[in-house]
């Protein structure tokens, strides 16, 4: 690969998380590097109880925590998770929109896989029981996939570009990539971006179960998610949200903001192969990584770590391993999948893992893949397992792949701001 000219990146100045491992980004990262799992049995009283043997359940978000009481009752959980993460990210960035940045020069891009599934399922049941009068007039503003972005914009007075990306499990990562595109194009000074999903509902669970996609047969729920392990037999369904605040280094420096890391490149491709299974040779994923490297002005040898998509499915892990080996060859960066500890958060996964990768760059510490007892020989990689690995990183990638053949890879480097986290 020929090194291309380095283009300006976007500094991460704020982070917000709602995950099965908690809400504070530093605490989530410390749990990951300590090898703790957020995957548990589904408790009695939860809507998914009896439907799932294990799940990554995010903390409860009371609607009144993030919205006025009169509005909170008609907002789906996927939007509440996004609001909580966005509130934390914007506060973490020390940002007041309208004071520190022009509201019209601020953008919001929030991806999701399913949107308001809980709201739709509840209202469909009410229609079945009571007919047309039973359906709430608030169904559409509760369930539409753009409502997480809309709610964040309304609450924080964001008046610039606004979008919702719905590319299944690549949505969170692709939304973060869109943030970099907007900053580079000069279309925004600040972008609030990320992903959210709340899919722990019986109909969705039944579909994944019948497709034999979910991990089964593990007595200890914390052992069920096993990316790249020879004994893996599916992914663990989870929920959550992650939001990042992106801005140029110049803009951050002008207001005295500190950066965690810099988003320096991205690549998105399509397999054009199958609705649910990846290309066996991983070529679509490999193209996304190559494009991210070119976007960042990097060569394969510059990458010291890859936070893999690594869901724990038989075909997916093998295809991604083939892609990684095709791109990096003898350079073999360290690889781990943090889904071993969080489960698969669907449309939120890529954004959560973007936060984790940025913190790995900032802290020089790589989280291990949980439950990787015996790596599959078909997934021959430099796995980080057993314990966190200290390393000084010049750059790192985070991968997100999805049903429909969507592939997104994000490249990160150290923050170039005068002040760093």
Q: Which domains does the chain have, with CATH numbers?
A: 10-414 (3.40.47.10)
Query: Of the given ranges (66-75, 114-123, 224-233), which has the lowest mean pLDDT?
Result: 66-75
Angle (deg, nearest 10), helices 147-156 and 77-92: 40
Q: Which tokens hold the place of 348?
A: 């939120």
126 class by beta-carbon count within 10 Å (0-12 exposed, 13-18 middle, 19+ buried): middle
Q: Nearest Cα to 113, choosing from 180, 37, 175?
A: 175
How far is it, in rounded angstroms, from Cα 55 to Cα 265?
A: 32
Q: Which of 156, 201, 251, 309 is catalytic?
A: 309
Quote the pLDDT of residue 71. Answer: 87
Asked if 396 and 362 touch (Cβ cutoff 8 Å), the reply is no
Checking if the pLDDT of 366 tops 90, the result is yes
Percentage with pLDDT > 70 across the chain? 99
Per-residue pLDDT of 174-190, as tens digits, reads: 999 999 999 999 999 99
- Report CA-CA distances (Å) from 141 to 73, 79, 138, 158: 12, 10, 6, 18
Residue 169 designated active-site: yes
- Report CA-CA distances (Å) from 357 to 103, 141, 366, 374, 376: 29, 33, 8, 24, 24
Going by their DSSP bridges, the two strands 261-270 and 10-18 should be labelled as antiparallel
Average pLDDT, stretch 274-291? 96
Residue 309 designated active-site: yes
Q: Which of 156, 169, 193, 383 is catalytic?
A: 169
Quote the pLDDT of residue 70. Answer: 85
Residue 406 designated active-site: no
Per-residue pLDDT of 119-145, as tens digits, reads: 999 999 999 999 999 999 999 999 999
Average pLDDT, stretch 210-238? 97
Q: Which of 344, 379, 383, 406 is catalytic?
A: 344
3-state secondary structure of 279: coil
Checking if the pLDDT of 6 tops 80, the result is no
How far is it, in rounded angstroms, from Cα 89 to Cα 219?
A: 37
Q: Nearest Cα to 173, choosing from 306, 350, 307?
A: 350
Percentage with pLDDT > 90 across the chain? 96
């Amino acid at each position: 690969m020929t090194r291309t000219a380095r283009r300006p990146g976007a500094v991460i100045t704020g982070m917000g998380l709602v995950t099965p491992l908690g809400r504070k980004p530093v605490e989530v990262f410390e749990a990951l590097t300590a090898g703790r799992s957020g995957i548990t049995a589904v408790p009695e009283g939860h809507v998914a109880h009896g439907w799932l043997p294990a799940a990554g359940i995010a903390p409860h978000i009371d609607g009144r925590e993030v919205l006025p009481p009169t509005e909170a009752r008609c907002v789906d959980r996927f939007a509440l998770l996004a609001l909580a993460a966005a509130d934390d990210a914007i506060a973490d960035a020390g940002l007041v929109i309208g004071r520190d940045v022009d509201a019209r020069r601020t953008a919001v891009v929030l991806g999701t896989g399913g949107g308001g599934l809980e709201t739709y399922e509840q209202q469909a049941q009410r229609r079945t029981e009571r007919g047309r009068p039973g359906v709430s007039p608030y169904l559409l503003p509760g369930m539409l996939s753009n409502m997480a972005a809309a709610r964040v914009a309304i609450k924080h007075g964001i008046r610039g570009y606004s979008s919702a990306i719905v590319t299944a499990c690549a949505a969170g990562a692709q939304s973060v990539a869109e943030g970099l595109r907007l900053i580079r194009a000069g279309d925004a000074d600040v972008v609030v971006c990320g992903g959210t999903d709340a899919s722990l509902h019986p109909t969705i669970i039944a579909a994944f179960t019948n497709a034999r996609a979910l991990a089964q047969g593990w007595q200890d729920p914390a052992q069920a998610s096993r990316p790249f392990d020879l004994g893996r037999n599916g992914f663990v369904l989870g929920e959550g949200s992650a939001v990042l605040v992106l801005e140029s280094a110049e803009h951050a420096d002008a207001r005295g903001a500190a950066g965690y890391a810099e988003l320096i490149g991205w690549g998105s491709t399509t397999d054009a192969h199958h609705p649910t299974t990846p290309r066996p040779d991983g070529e679509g994923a490999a193209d996304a990584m190559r494009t991210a490297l070119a976007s960042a002005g990097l060569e394969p040898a510059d990458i010291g770590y890859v936070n893999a998509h690594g869901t724990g499915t038989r075909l997916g892990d093998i295809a991604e391993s083939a892609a990684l080996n095709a791109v990096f060859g003898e350079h073999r960066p360290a690889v781990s999948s943090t889904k071993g500890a969080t489960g698969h958060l669907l449309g939120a996964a890529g954004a959560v893992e973007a936060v984790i990768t940025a913190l790995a760059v900032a802290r020089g510490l790589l989280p291990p893949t949980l439950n990787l007892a015996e790596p599959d020989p078909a997934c021959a990689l430099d796995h980080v397992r057993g314990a966190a690995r200290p390393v000084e990183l010049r750059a790192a990638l985070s991968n997100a792949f999805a049903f429909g053949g969507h592939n997104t890879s994000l490249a990160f480097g150290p923050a170039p701001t005068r002040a760093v986290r």
